[in-house]
A = this chain, B = another copy of it.
Amino acid sequence: MPSAPPASLTALLAGPDRPGLVAHTANWIFERGGNILHADQHRDGDANVFFQRVEWVPAAKHDPAAEAAAFQDYAAQKLGMTARVMASTARPRVAIFASKAGHCFHDLILRFRSGEMRGELACVIANHDDLALSAEHYGLRFFLIPVSPKNKAAVEKRQLKILREQGIGLVVLARYMQILSPEFLAQCGVPIINIHHSFLPAFAGAKPYHQAHARGVKIIGATAHYVTPILDDGPIIAQDVSHVSHRHDVDDLQRFGRDLEKVVLAQAVRWHLENRIIVNGNKTMVFD
């Protein structure tokens, strides 16, 4: 294992397109002694919007946090752009929402433990206790909050309180199976990534593997997306598929699907934590 690379800053920029934006940001970084590691950009020609992801190592003499703030100021005041800057050493705190199914739950946690993810698992919030013992083994706080049609508002209030107390920066719905209310989404204040067990926009809603089997498709899929108030309609981050045939029953589709869900959800979470995703309307740009 080589020595760790120096801490870097990654900025995601978005704003009205105009000539010289690449030069301006590169110059700012160069003149302050920084060294660009990666830079990637995209233009939405229809909307005339420019997007960039740039990663650089700031000069050792600058404090990274101050440098990040300085870049944000520069982007806002001189370029008219919003910038989200994150240090490579940052480890946002992540909450997993789960229910009974354990495949995404275990997969995510094992990836965090193996160092694949630039985040820190803070806690698990679940409406069933099936995964409580495992969470304990992993050393994770486990909040059991059963949900019924009657107590939904109280449940969400308690969930929001936990998110705030735990200082959560990202919520991951690891097959949580409950629809979050628009009120929850409005007050949550941090991004929420969900895994839907179909190849969206096909088979939105409930029981997608049953829908897929009934339709006789030859490929099934899974979709990770940011959650918005419209069910299964948020910006798509990652998708993957498996070939199936008439020989496979719904159980088989679910088994294949679990493997897809694990990989697709983990990829989306990793990209988010590495500050690689910009949401543009109802679409994402992933600078991978």
Chain A contacts to B: CB under 8 angstroms: 19-20, 22-23, 26-27, 29-30, 33-43, 45, 102-103, 106, 110, 114, 116, 137, 199-203, 215-219, 221, 235-241, 245-247, 249, 255, 259, 263, 280, 282-286, 288
A114 to B280, CA, bound (A): 33
Q: A216 — nearest CB in chain B belongs to which residue? A: B283
Copy count, this protein chain: 4
**29 A-B contacts (beta carbon < 8 Å):** A19-B33, A19-B34, A19-B35, A23-B27, A23-B29, A23-B30, A26-B27, A36-B41, A39-B39, A39-B41, A40-B40, A42-B247, A45-B249, A102-B114, A116-B255, A201-B217, A202-B202, A215-B236, A215-B282, A216-B282, A216-B283, A217-B236, A218-B236, A218-B237, A218-B239, A241-B241, A245-B286, A246-B284, A246-B286
A251 to B33, CA, bound (A): 28
Q: Say how far A11's CB is from chain B's closest CB, in angstroms.
A: 14
Q: Say how far A262's CB is from chain B's closest CB, in angstroms.
A: 9
Please, which residues of chain B bring their CB within 8 A of the CB of A42? 246-247
A217 to B201, CA, bound (A): 8
List of 10 A-B pairs having minimum Cβ-Cβ separation, nearest first: A216-B283, A23-B26, A23-B30, A202-B202, A246-B285, A20-B30, A218-B239, A22-B26, A22-B36, A219-B239
Contact of A217 among B39, B200, B203 (CB under 8 A): B200
